Structure 1
Amino acid sequence: MKQAIAVRFEENGKETYFDPAGLDAHAGDYVMADTEHGPACGQVARDPQPTPDYLLPNPLRPLLRMADSVDIRRMHQRQNEDKKAWRICRECIDRHGLEMKLVKVEYAPDHSKVTFYFTADGRVDFRELVKDLASTFHMRIELRQIGVRDESKMMGGIGLCGQTFCCSRFLRDFQPVSIRMAKEQGLSLNPTKISGCCGRLMCCLGYEQSAYEYLNSILPMVGSTVRTPDGTGTVVETNPISGYLRVRLVSEALAPKYYKASQCQYISGGKRAPRRPDPDDDYSGMRDPAPVVASADDTADFDAEE
């Protein structure tokens, strides 16, 4: 674990970790940090503390210095500009009747451009919107279409587990998740219980998938015939985590009994095969659409096509 400090660049925004670089900064202080978009002013959310490596960005950028009154004033001014730009863009979207949801507005540190992030069910013809925004802000306009999972990662929030979203906390990339994972882990297939706030299957379904695949591959599958200390029976249920089998004995008409897998000897019925790609797996609904990027410079190309 490395010593890291958490900084927020927006009100109630997600935390980003930085190397303290020897600065005596504490929660509530304002600092200048080296971000991927250049130096930026933010507020320290938590004191420096040892942080697991999986939570830290790669590379871990350093803090530059403590912020002064000018830096703080510019930060608040930028936040107010973002809110104002969001309202203006929202009004333009309503005026043009576009079916798109504005998620976030972000100015470049040097004010050379302003980026609008939005979600939509399909492709949106926003040529007129780009022209209106360019004439209003008099700078380069960039519209980026993102997916619902990217929206959750950008906005942050609290998941069903009571923890901050994994995607906004430590996940670098989204991995495909399928309903087959929930089946192999014996979870309820109720969409409200296995779906995140973004409406997609929860990313955490994939965290233990490899362990379940291995455990399921070494246990007799349901329907197999096994020999137990009390006689021969049929497996009616398996618990890969505890290593117990629920077996209905042939010689008894009573309720099935539980046995440790090590107490049972496999006879017939076929063991569960190692996990292989299944044609029933459907990943199409788990992936977000590829981002669509357009700027004011693209309007000339649009006009040429017409």
Structure 2
Amino acid sequence: MDSIDVRELRNVLGAFATGVTVVTTIDGDGQPRGFTANSFTSVSLDPPLVLVCLAKTAATRPVFEAAGGYAVNILAEDQKGVSRTFASKVEDRFATVDWQAGPAGNPVFAGTSAWLDCSMHQTVDAGDHVILIGCVRGCGHAPVSPLGYCRGAYVTFGLEQKAMETRGRQTLVGAILERDGQILLVETPDGGVALPTAEALGKPGRSDGLLHRLATLGSTVDLSFLFAVFDEDNDRRVSIYYRGKLIDGPAAGQGARLVGFDAIPWAKLPNDAVRSMLQRYVAERREDEFGVYVGDEVSGTVQPLSRTV
């Protein structure tokens, strides 16, 4: 078999969006143990089976292989801190969470989107991981948005939902597209510059869509994440901006060009909202830590995204 580039494989698998879980159990000394994982999936409804994957190099591997079961805590969107704690080497990870024993005796957290408490059904050796198959003995869920994870960053589905709640309002969809430290800007009729925008995200063949607009510029793009959602013009319009990579283009003579961070003509941008948003992008790119802005063109909040689980 041909060799596979491990880094490329990780990037490919990282494009599959998942939830974030903390898997917990009780060790032989009666102490709670746990780890953060997004390699969780359902297996069967009859019998009710689920699985999680645990790296063979994990310090908790012997504990979970010897355990009689485990609980899967599916984290809510406000539990990024819990995810980080259980992915760290903090000695007493359970000191920061409220938990109680589930039906099978394993730690179930308060405030999660959902949970399942399982007895151990089977362990399977699989390459550099161990697959822990559990039989569900109890479960529950709450009407809160789950925490997501994709391409090395947390995803907050509640923000995506806000972006979609635009019925009866005008929309403006734009993109901050970067390649090699340069941003794609388009020329405007008044001699200014702007980020590429359209009335909808659309498909490449839809004439009013952003993807079609970018295609006419001779550009191939990868729109990765939501970057900002804000109301404008007294709530009559919502602006939705994504951030992503410019793979190819723009074509010559299409009124678009790449501009380095230090050469952005700030005074020529269309308004203060776009200037502020692009300034935030440049600052966050330099720190390699991104967030999502939600508010209006004057004020709002930036919800941070972590790059690693």
What is the TM-score normalised by the length of structure 1?
A: 0.24
Q: Which has the higher helix share?
A: 1
What is the TM-score normalised by the length of structure 2?
A: 0.24
